[in-house]
C-alpha cells in the first residue's frame, strides 16, 4: 500500500474520529439537524450512536491496517447510510455546519460520494474488488 493511500486512510480516519467526537460534544446540535424526521428512533440516540460508530470506524481505519479492505467497505457503507441525513438537511433547508444556503447544502450532497470513493480507494477495497473480479472472470 502506497504512502499516499496510507496517509489518505489515516486522514479519513482522523476526520471520522473528529466528527464522532463532535456528535458527542461540541457539534451535537448541528448533527441533530441532519437526522431525518421519518426515522423511527429518538433523535438524540441517532446522534450519539452514529458518533460512537464514527469514532470506531475512524480508529479502525487508522489501527486495523490488516483489515483495511473490509473496513473500507464498512466505512463506504456508512457514508451511504448517512446520506439520507444530508438529503434531509437539504430538503428542510436546515442551517448547520455553516451550510446556510441551498447551494452550500447541495455542494455537501455532491461531496458525499467523494467520501465513499475516498474510503474505497484509500483502503484498497476498490482495487481488491477489481482484482478478485478479474481473477473470477479469468477462470
The pLDDT tens digits of the residues spanning 45-78 come to 999 999 999 999 999 999 999 999 999 999 999 9
134 pLDDT higher than 90: no
Distance (Å, whole) CA 58 – CA 105: 24
Do the Cβ atoms of 12 and 119 come closer than 8 Å?
yes
> 125: exposed, middle or buried (C-beta count within 10 Å: 0-12, 13-18, 19+)?
buried
Write down the domain spans for the chain. 3-138
Grid cell 474510503 is found at 119
pLDDT for 22 equals 96
Query: Do the Cβ atoms of 65 and 41 come closer than 8 Å?
Result: no
The CA-to-CA distance between both ends of the chain, in Å, stands at 26
Whether the predicted pLDDT of 1 surpasses 70 = no
Contact 40, 5 (CB under 8 A): no
Q: 9 exposed, middle or buried (CB, 10 Å; 0-12, 13-18, 19+)?
A: buried
In terms of pLDDT, which residue wins out, 117 or 32? 117
Q: What are phi and psi of 94, to 5 degrees?
A: -80, 130
Confidence (pTM): 0.91
pLDDT band at 135, cuts 50/70/90? Answer: confident
What pLDDT, on the 0 to 100 scale, is given for residue 97?
Answer: 82
Confidence at residue 66, expressed as pLDDT on a 0 to 100 scale: 96
Q: What is the dihedral of CA 111, 117, 123, 128, to 10 degrees?
A: 170
Instruction: Give the model's confidence band at 16: pLDDT under 50 very low, under 70 low, under 90 confident, else very high.
Output: very high
Amino acid at each position: 500500500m502506497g504512502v499516499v493511500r496510507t496517509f489518505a486512510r489515516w486522514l479519513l480516519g482522523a476526520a471520522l474520529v473528529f466528527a464522532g467526537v463532535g456528535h458527542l460534544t461540541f457539534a451535537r446540535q448541528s448533527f441533530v439537524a441532519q437526522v431525518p424526521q421519518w426515522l423511527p428512533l429518538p433523535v438524540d440516540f441517532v446522534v450519539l450512536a452514529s458518533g460512537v460508530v464514527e469514532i470506531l470506524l475512524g480508529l479502525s481505519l487508522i489501527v486495523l491496517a490488516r483489515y483495511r479492505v473490509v473496513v473500507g467497505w464498512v466505512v463506504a457503507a456508512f457514508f451511504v447510510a448517512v446520506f439520507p441525513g444530508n438529503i434531509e438537511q437539504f430538503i428542510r433547508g436546515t442551517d448547520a455546519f455553516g451550510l446556510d444556503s441551498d447551494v452550500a447544502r447541495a455542494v455537501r450532497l455532491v461531496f458525499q460520494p467523494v467520501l465513499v470513493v475516498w474510503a474505497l480507494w484509500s483502503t484498497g477495497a476498490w482495487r481488491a474488488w477489481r482484482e478478485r473480479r478479474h481473477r473470477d472472470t479469468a477462470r
